Structure 1
Amino acid sequence: MALLGAIIGGGMSRRFGSDKAMARIDGVTLLDHVHAALQPQVDDIVLCGRSWLEWTSIPDVPGPGLGPLGGMAAALEYGRRNGFDAVLTVPLDTYPLPSDLARSLGTGPVCFADQYMVGIWPASLCARLNAHIVSGHRSVRSWISASGCQLIKVDNLAWRNINVATDLHEIFE
C-alpha cells in the first residue's frame, strides 16, 4: 500500500499564543519532531495548510479557513492524484509520535477515538470529503460519521496534543 503522510498544519495556534510549529522540545521544533517520526512510516510526506521551504506544502482544499478537514481534503486530493492508496494524517502538534503508528492503524478509514485527526484515510474518499465540506460540514466528528471511520480506543495514548504553551512544560515533568 502506497501511504502518504500528511502533517495537518494550517491552524492559527490561538490557544497556544504563538506558532506551535516553531515551539521547541529539546531544541527541535515541534514540526520537525512530527516530520522525523512520520518519515520512516510513509512513502512521502506533505505539509497541509502552510508553506515550508524544504517540504512539499499544499494549501487546504477547497480553500483556507476550513479547519482540519481542509487539510485532510488537500492531502486526500494530493494522494489520489499522485498514486497513493491512503493518507496517514497527523496534526503538527502531536508529540511524541509513535514509531509504529501506521502499522498499528492498519487500513482505513480508521482513527483514534481520542485523537480524531490521527488516522488513515483511503485516498478514494477524496470526492466524498470534498462534497461533505462543500455541503457545509466543518467538524471532524461529522466526517468520521459520514466516512464510516472505525474508531480505535486506547486507554493511555503515548502521545498528546500540544494545545497551550503550558502543555510543553508538562512534557518534562
Structure 2
Amino acid sequence: MYQMLALPTATLCVALSFAAPAYAMPMGGTYTGRVDGQNVQPLGSPDHIKIEQTATGVNTGPGTPLDGAKVQWRETVTLKNGQGPVQGTITFTTPTGSTSSAYKGTVTTDALGRVTASGTYRDSGATGEFAGVKGQGTFSVAYSSKTDFTGEWKGEVKLPKQKSSQR
C-alpha cells in the first residue's frame, strides 16, 4: 500500500504556473462594406482590367470578440470578361486590438451583372488582446451596387496560450 502526500490547495496554486494549450474553435460573422477608393488600370483590352481598391465596413458576430469591429479591406482584382482572381488583406479593429488576414479567391460576374466573390483567408497578424491569434477559413461576398456589398466569413481560430494566474 502507498501513502498519498496531501498538500494544501493554496500551496499548489502558488507553486504552479503553466501555459494552457491553444484550442481551435469555430468562429464567424457577417459584414457590410462600402468601397472607399478605386484605381482601375486597363490591361491591353477593354475587357481585361486590374482594380486596386479599399473599402470599410462593420462586422457582426454576436457572442464573438469581433462583434461590432470596424473592418477595412485593401485588395487587388484582375478581371477578364468580369471574372478573375482577388487577393488582399482584411483587418478587424476593436477598442482592445486588431487582427488582419490575407485572403485570396475568385470574383465572378453573372449575365445580369451581379458581382460575387469567394475564397479563403489565413490570419497574418494581430495586436492587443488578439496578439497570437491564429486562424483560417472561408469567405463569400455579394455586391448590391457598384460600391456596396455584404459578406460572411467562417473558420477556425486558435486563441493564444494564456498563463494561469499565480495565487
TM interval, short-chain normalised: under 0.3
Q: Which has the higher helix share?
A: 1
- The TM-score normalised by the length of structure 1 is 0.25
Query: Which of these two proteins has the greater Rg computed from alpha carbons?
Result: 2
Q: Which has the higher strand share?
A: 2
